[in-house]
Homo-oligomer: A and B are copies of this chain.
Amino acid sequence: MAEWDEHTRVTPDGEGRFAAELTAGWSVGGGINGGYQLAVVGEAVRAALPAQAPDPLAVSAYYLSPGTAGPATVEVDVRRQGGRTATVAADLVQEGQTRIAVLATFGDLGHAADDVRTTAPPVELPPREECVSNKLAPEELRTIAPLMDRFEMLFDPATAGWAMGAPSGRGELAAWFRLVDDRDADPISLLMVADALPPVTFDLGLPGWAPTIELTVHVRARPAPGWLRVRHATRNVAGGMFEEDCEIWDSAGRLVAQSRQLARLPRG
């Protein structure tokens, strides 16, 4: 079993309740990566819904308290179940504290109409052998960011200058991405991918943790197997906050997910 499936497994624990375990392997900066937590919620929602609605279409997560390594419960309340989709409210809870409050609409991306009229330009990256691997990160960085061992991320050198103290200043980050164990992406793992890259503020010369207020992901297609191309960009740094737009493109050239989060600028 790929470690991703082990790390996101949920088991039924009563009506609308699912038990999970948040692994320290997805820690970063003293907390647990928000996208990984959201994917755990996604797995519980899928388990709670009928087979006709296995895929997230839109998921909105409001981060209320930092996740910690250890047991967690996901509580799922089905708010509406229609012909093709279902909408739920879900909470990720640890020790009586809600970590994330979620609203999500699930459906079936396998039966989506196959018209594709995407006009967004695909994320263009140099060949993987020319990109900067997260495996090269220094030991002290990997110690505060164990999540880096969960995936391989190959950064476009053009927006990886921050790693050598030379951020581009454009507020962009782009990388190839895949999970370890050759575990291909699926609609639920895309919820994690949308929050896996370092904060785009690194490229503005602003290091440090950028706490997420809210993250909404639209999953638009089941991703093809293989490497993903992920791009983050910010255009509205203001008032102590910034938005981080993410696009995820699959190996078939499809824009499989779009997300935007609102986050606080790092302190200092």
Contacts and interface: CB of A to CB of B under 8 A. Distances in A.
Contact of A103 (B101, B120, B221, B240): B101
Contacts of A65: 80
Interface hub of A64, A116, A260 (most chain B Cβ within 10 A): A260
A241 B213 contact: no
Given A109-B239, A115-B238, A64 B79 contact: yes
B235 A218 contact: no
Contacts of A236: 118-120, 220, 255, 258
A58 B262 contact: yes
Interface in A92-138: 98, 101-105, 109, 112-120
Nearest to A89: B101
Taking the full assembly, how many copies of this chain does it contain? 2
Contacts of A109: 239
Interface in A242-267: 243, 254-255, 258, 260, 262
The SS class assigned to the A binding surface is: strand
A115 B240 contact: yes
Contacts of A189: none
4 smallest CB-CB distances across A and B, nearest first, come from A112-B239, A60-B60, A120-B235, A113-B240
A33 interface: no
A180 B183 CA distance: 55
A199 interface: no
